[in-house]
Amino acid sequence: MRTQLKKEEKLLLITRQHWMTLIVPFLACLVIVALLFYFIEDTSIALMIALALLLVPGYLYLEWKHNLWAVTNMRVIDESGFFTRYSKESPLEKINNVEYTQSLLGRMFGYGDVEIQTAAELGETTYTMIQDPKLLKDTITFSQEEYKGTQVRNQAQQLADAIKLSMPAASQHNMAVSDELEKLFSLMQKGAITQEEYIRQKNKLLAN
């Protein structure tokens, strides 16, 4: 992967198109080479053309190798191109929905299409013939949940810090609210309350 990871960014998954995308062009080259030797009487000429044609599968393999999708704890990265370069990033907070589809043949051989719906400015992208599309979809979903949890934890800590640094006249009350926020956040982390319940109770405390 050519894209450099950011500070505190972790790589979770790298996937590519299924190897079956290489089969058709490879078989086509073999058929053409066989026809060359059948129709061209001069073996040396046929051999030269055949060797040139066999460079095509090598080029396609390099393109396949560099056409990848990477999922991190911050974004989804789309890279492609060996001689040319293309790169696209979709931040996790901009991704609204992820779906995958598999045909019967896709289920047998382990490939399918993955559709990522993002915010309006980024639009919708469909990745075709992805190997193990369910793994890609599940990894993105897991990363989003972890990312949202991190955001909630950061917001809770910032609120607690802001209350502790607020006006001295209200320090006793503020410290009590800060302690309650920390308790609520701890309960959410342990699964005792849901994230929605945490937000509701937090807003109620801050309104007092």
Q: Which residue has the tokens 């043949």?
A: 105
Distance of CA 84 to the CA centre of its chain: 22
Using left for φ > 0, alpha for ψ between -120 and 50, and beta otherwise, residue 102 falls in: beta
* pLDDT tens digits along 152-204: 777 777 776 776 666 555 555 566 667 777 787 777 777 777 778 878 877 77
* pLDDT tens digits along 42-72: 888 878 888 888 888 888 888 889 899 999 9
Kindly list the distances between the CA atom of residue 203 and the CA atoms of 159, 167, 194, 208, in Å, as whole numbers in the listed order. Answer: 11, 20, 14, 9
Query: What is the rounded distance in angstroms from the CA atom of residue 195 to the CA atom of residue 202?
Result: 10
Of the candidates 101, 100, 168, 171, the one whose C-alpha atom is nearest the C-alpha of residue 139 is: 100
